[in-house]
């Protein structure tokens, strides 16, 4: 391929190959669309991050969750390149309600694309790119994983501004982080020729190296960490994927074409999307750039903004402020004679005495204690717990639902006690259970109860009994949260003993 970036005519030709017909938009009028990839599980950050409530939804570093911080990262972006549209959030179906709730809490107007199944980051970005081009427009996508930390947002936006200039000329751009240490937890990018503005061509991508190799990369000065943040015109991504991975491109475009809107949610067609091969952006496209003249150029722009990929508890420790002994903490924590350690308490007091390089994380139902140099093995512990069918592997004691949440506060062989909080206007599904009966005692608020053919109200200190096998529903018709205690009794108390007849939130 020649040394110049793809020109406008080349981009238009690529768009036609991809089956897209976006309008031509001049560089001075480009529209930017942040795309937040929020479909991960984050099992290395157990016990806080679990399958049903993963790390992007957790406030690991401050008052905002990682999702909230990422969705606001382009806020206030001003550059000659253009304006920023509302973000697109790509997440799983099981997390769509809490995702929408967290965005509303920060006043973020976003479009939520709900993946029917996990297919990694390349199909997620492709669905978003197809969505951007749906009206014939062509915007520059700023694709960001939802689990990163950025200390200096102004420096981040400056790097994006440079990346947009290259993306407008047809490049697929990634942000590379000049390394500060020989880290084996990140992928690396080998720098190609300089482009005169601090950016470089991408020579090649390198997977997570061994320690000795990482030391060599750091000493050479020719490698940057791969941040996983990408900037590319939507049409260029679609055109490139059409050539490189046609099966993935066609499945995702079809899934989008046959998708449906449901309020703030867009649902790609499940069958078409599930037929797409699963692959990451790096494997599917980035590692192949420069090997074929049909493909767009790969460009890497430096990002010096205090970036961190929060993939482990060690990375969280790195991102937090530390005391004089190198300790970092959140919640109720006391250090005495401890060094280089991290502790996170969600409630109970943690006291760390005379320990070094230790991670301690406390939640309502689990405690993690680990050597900070071996935190990558937390994922293996989660796999072992799943094999043992331990519920703590995937679910917290406090479980969020679209109507509110419940907290399992006690259980025995044939009983379980839950604290249930229903938001104003919230309503549980119309359901029955084959194996358990339920007693409801209202603690505060007002409850509207459906029980068989009956419908009645309960207020504070009143109760109702729901016999086994009887259709029932709980609603909060008031303006304040409804709190009640539920006592379940029966031979089986699993959450899969629910037969739903009607559900406001579209759950099966």
pLDDT in tens, 218-262: 999 999 999 999 999 999 999 999 999 999 999 999 999 999 998
For residues 406 and 373, state if they share a domain.
no
* Predicted confidence (pLDDT) at residue 27 exceeds the cutoff of 70: no
The residue that leads in pLDDT, 141 or 136, is 141
- Beta-carbon contacts of 451 under 8 Å, excluding residues fewer than 6 positions away, are 464, 466, 470, 471, 472
For residues 190 and 293, state if they share a domain.
yes
- Beta-carbon contacts of 3 under 8 Å, excluding residues fewer than 6 positions away, are none
- Domain boundary among the residues 276, 305, 334 is at 305
For residues 66 and 213, state if they share a domain.
yes
- Please check whether residue 266 is in contact with residue 114, taking contact to mean a CB–CB distance below 8 angstroms: yes
- Please check whether residue 294 is in contact with residue 26, taking contact to mean a CB–CB distance below 8 angstroms: no
Q: How confident is the model at residue 11 (pLDDT cuts 50, 70, 90)?
A: very low
- pTM metric for this prediction: 0.86
- Summarised one tens digit per residue, pLDDT across range 344-357 is 999 999 999 999 99
For residues 278 and 324, state if they share a domain.
no
- Please check whether residue 301 is in contact with residue 319, taking contact to mean a CB–CB distance below 8 angstroms: no
Residue 452: inside a domain, yes or no? yes
For residues 72 and 219, state if they share a domain.
yes
- Summarised one tens digit per residue, pLDDT across range 407-431 is 999 999 999 999 999 999 999 999 9
For residues 59 and 91, state if they share a domain.
yes
- Domain boundary among the residues 251, 285, 305 is at 305
Range of the domain at 201: 8-305
* Predicted confidence (pLDDT) at residue 5 exceeds the cutoff of 50: no
Q: How many domains does the chain have?
A: 3
- Summarised one tens digit per residue, pLDDT across range 351-389 is 999 999 999 999 999 999 999 999 999 999 999 999 999
Smallest CA-to-CA distance from 297 within 166, 129, 158, 198 is with 166
Report, as an integer, the average pLDDT of 173-177: 96
d(CA 506, CA 402): 10
Smallest CA-to-CA distance from 299 within 8, 1, 16 is with 1
The SS3 assignment for 310 reads coil
* Residue 189 β-bridge partners: 205, 224
Residue 3: inside a domain, yes or no? no
- Domain boundary among the residues 247, 275, 305 is at 305
For residues 280 and 134, state if they share a domain.
yes
For residues 229 and 364, state if they share a domain.
no
d(CA 109, CA 87): 7
């Amino acid at each position: 391929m020649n040394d110049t970036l793809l020109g406008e005519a080349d981009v238009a030709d690529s768009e036609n190959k991809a089956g897209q017909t976006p309008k031509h938009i001049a560089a001075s009028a480009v529209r930017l669309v942040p795309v937040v990839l929020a479909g991960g599980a984050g099992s290395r950050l157990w016990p806080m991050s679990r399958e049903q409530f993963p790390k992007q939804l957790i406030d690991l570093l401050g008052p905002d969750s990682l999702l909230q911080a990422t969705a606001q990262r382009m806020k206030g972006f001003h550059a000659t390149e253009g304006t920023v549209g509302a973000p697109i959030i790509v997440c799983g179906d099981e997390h769509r309600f809490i995702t929408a709730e967290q965005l509303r809490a920060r006043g973020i107007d976003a479009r939520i694309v709900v993946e029917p199944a996990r297919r990694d980051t390349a199909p997620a970005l492709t669905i978003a790119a197809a969505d951007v081009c749906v009206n014939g427009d062509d915007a520059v996508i700023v694709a960001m994983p939802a689990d990163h930390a950025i200390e200096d947002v102004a420096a981040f936006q400056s790097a994006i501004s440079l990346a947009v200039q290259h993306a407008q000329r047809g490049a697929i751009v990634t942000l590379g982080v000049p390394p500060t240490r020989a880290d084996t937890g990140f992928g690396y990018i080998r720098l190609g020729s300089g482009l005169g503005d601090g950016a470089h061509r991408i020579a090649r991508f390198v997977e997570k190296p061994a320690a000795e190799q990482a030391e060599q990369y750091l000493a050479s000065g020719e490698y940057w960490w791969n941040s996983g943040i990408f900037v590319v015109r939507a049409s260029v991504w679609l055109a490139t994927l059409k050539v490189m991975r046609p099966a993935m491109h066609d499945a995702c475009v079809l899934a989008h074409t046959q998708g449906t809107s449901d309020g703030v949610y867009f649902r790609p067609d499940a069958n078409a999307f599930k037929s797409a091969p699963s692959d990451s952006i790096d494997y599917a496209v980035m590692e192949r750039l420069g090997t074929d003249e049909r493909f767009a150029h790969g460009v890497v722009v430096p990002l010096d903004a205090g970036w961190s990929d929060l993939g482990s508890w060690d990375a969280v420790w790195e991102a937090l402020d530390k005391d004089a002994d190198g300790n970092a903490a959140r919640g109720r924590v006391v250090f005495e004679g401890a060094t280089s350690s991290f502790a996170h308490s969600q409630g109970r007091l943690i006291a760390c005495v005379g320990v070094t390089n230790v991670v301690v994380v406390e939640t309502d139902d689990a405690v993690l204690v680990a050597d900070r140099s071996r935190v990558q093995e937390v994922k293996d512990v989660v796999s072992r717990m799943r094999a043992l069918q331990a519920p703590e592997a995937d679910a917290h004691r406090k479980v969020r639902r679209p109507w509110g949440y419940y907290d399992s506060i006690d259980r025995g062989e044939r009983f379980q006690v839950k604290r249930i909080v229903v938001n104003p206007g919230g309503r549980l599904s119309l359901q029955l259970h084959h194996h358990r009966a339920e007693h409801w005692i209202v603690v505060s608020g007002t409850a509207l109860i459906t029980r068989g053919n009956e419908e009645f109200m309960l207020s504070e200190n009143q109760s109702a009994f729901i016999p086994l096998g009887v259709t029932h529903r709980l609603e909060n018709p008031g303006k304040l949260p409804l709190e009640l205690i539920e006592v379940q009794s029966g031979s089986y108390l699993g959450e899969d003993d629910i037969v739903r007849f009607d559900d406001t939130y579209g759950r099966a």
